[in-house]
Amino acid sequence: MKDTQKGFWPVRNMELTQRQKHFFSYLKEKIAAEGQAPSLRQAAADMEVSHTAVAQMIQQLEKKGLVERDGHYSRTIRLRHPEQMEEEPGGARRLPVIGQITAGLPMYAQQEWEGSVVVDGSRFRGDNLFCLRIRGESMRGAGILDGDLVICEPRQYAENGEIVAALINGEEATVKRFFLKSDHVEMHPENPAYEVRRYPFRELLVQGKVVGVIRDRVESGTAEGKRS
């Protein structure tokens, strides 16, 4: 769940000033909208502070594990969701759930966090893992059913035959088995009722590899996780 202040992610087990929270939210929105972090000059102008103040805030967030940089002067900044770093009893870890993604006809990929789910940390060890809610039956043959959560490892490439989450035309999202051809990409369902879909390279962007599935058990209020 989000913090009560719009745009802020929840931060537990760490202390952030209101200014740092605001800056972290600003970075999240800029990266989501533009695909990269703003320059120091742009951030300073938007935040109405000095370049030095922006650099200091980045360093502070980096020390607290909320951002990662390729180098000290690199503009490439990756944000880490605070819930991903939260430790649970018994070696469990908490992963964020990001909107919904279809396993049938593509639907709009929402960029809102919809809470989180606890998984076995010994089985799911990757960095920045996230979950997506499935809508549709096209991946039934792979054991991915309507309403399931798939656990994804962030990635912008795929090997033939891997099940991936991909964006179509920058808006629609789908989960299918990936196959690279000479002049296009094919996304294969695991249900004979659905057709193979073909896309030009420019229309498809891999967002992550599916590494596990969580099936909610409504009657018990627990979730069962397994590797894909």
Catalogue the active-site residues.
138, 176
* Contact in structure between 118 and 135 (CB atoms under 8 Å): no
Q: Which two tokens stand for residue 54?
A: 């922006």
Q: Which two tokens stand for residue 168?
A: 């179509």
* Contact in structure between 6 and 29 (CB atoms under 8 Å): no
Asked whether the CA dihedral 190, 192, 193, 198 is positive or negative, the reply is positive
Distance CA 159, CA 31 (A): 26
Q: Which two tokens stand for residue 63?
A: 């020390």
